[in-house]
Amino acid sequence: MDILISVFPQLFKGTGVTIQLFFFTLIGSIPLGILFAFVLCSNSKIFKPIVQTYVWLMRGTPLLLQLIFAFYGLATVGVVLDRFEAAVFAFILNYAAYFAEIFRGGIQSIPKGQYEAAQVLRLTPWQTISKIIIPQVGKITLPSVGNEVISLVKDTSLIYILGLSDVMRIGKIAMEREATLLPLIGVGIIYLVLTGFFTVLLKQIEKRLDYYR
């Protein structure tokens, strides 16, 4: 038990890296996912196939492989990213693909009559998207987005492969140093707290969006 208590301060330091990656990924991937979703719903013969291929590649290959490629693979063609930048780059591209599919489903579930009503009201395309489409898509897709957010918290543990000092890597080092699994229990507790916090937060957001029902 003393080992678990002594290792917590180190784990908390690693939590900073985990949380930074989490927020940078959301900030980058959600807007990108929305943009890609509208492309997927369009009739573009150029951009739609490109985005479809991108989504297929990102969803069809392991995130761990994408992390390795972002750091080691890009360096071979002259694109050198530091470890954290490579992690953010890979995570944003990966999660944008998943969010694109989620938002695409939300957009396609909105009745065509609402688009026609927007035309009757002479709303611009941007007004239609920002005032009618996106608020409803947000409500419709929130449970699925919430699942991805929780998955993101747990997926951040994969960056240990790049040698970043996140919660998982610090816990692994402590486990090997102390020859006990107790540090990994500490890692599990931290991830449970993080996922629990975001689960509660997402439920509160869902309650506030109830007026779209």
pLDDT tens column, 58-100: 999 999 999 999 999 998 988 889 999 999 999 999 999 999 9
Q: What is the tens place of the pLDDT at every residue in 155-199?
A: 998 988 888 878 887 787 777 777 777 778 888 888 999 999 999
What's the rounded Cα separation, in Å, for the pair 21 and 24?
5
User: How far apart (Å, rounded) are the C-alpha atoms in residues 82 and 4?
Assistant: 31
Residue 208's CATH number = 1.10.3720.10
- Decide: 92 and 25 in contact? Cβ < 8 Å: yes
The C-alpha atoms of residue 85 and residue 78 are separated, in whole angstroms, by 15
Q: Tally helices (H) and strands (E) across the chain.
A: 9, 0
Q: Enumerate residues 6+ apart whose C-beta is below 8 A from 25.
A: 88, 91, 92, 95, 152
Q: Which domain holds residue 153?
A: 2-212
Is the pTM higher than 0.85? The answer reads yes
CB atoms within 10 A of CB 44: 13
Give yes or no for residue 57 having a pLDDT over 60.
yes
Residues 82, 70: contact at Cβ < 8 Å?
no
Q: How many structural domains does the chain have? A: 1
Secondary-structure percent of the chain, ordered helix, strand, coil, rounded to 5: 85, 0, 15
- pLDDT computed for residue 207 by the predictor: 82
- Please check the confidence at residue 7 and state whether its pLDDT lies above 80: no
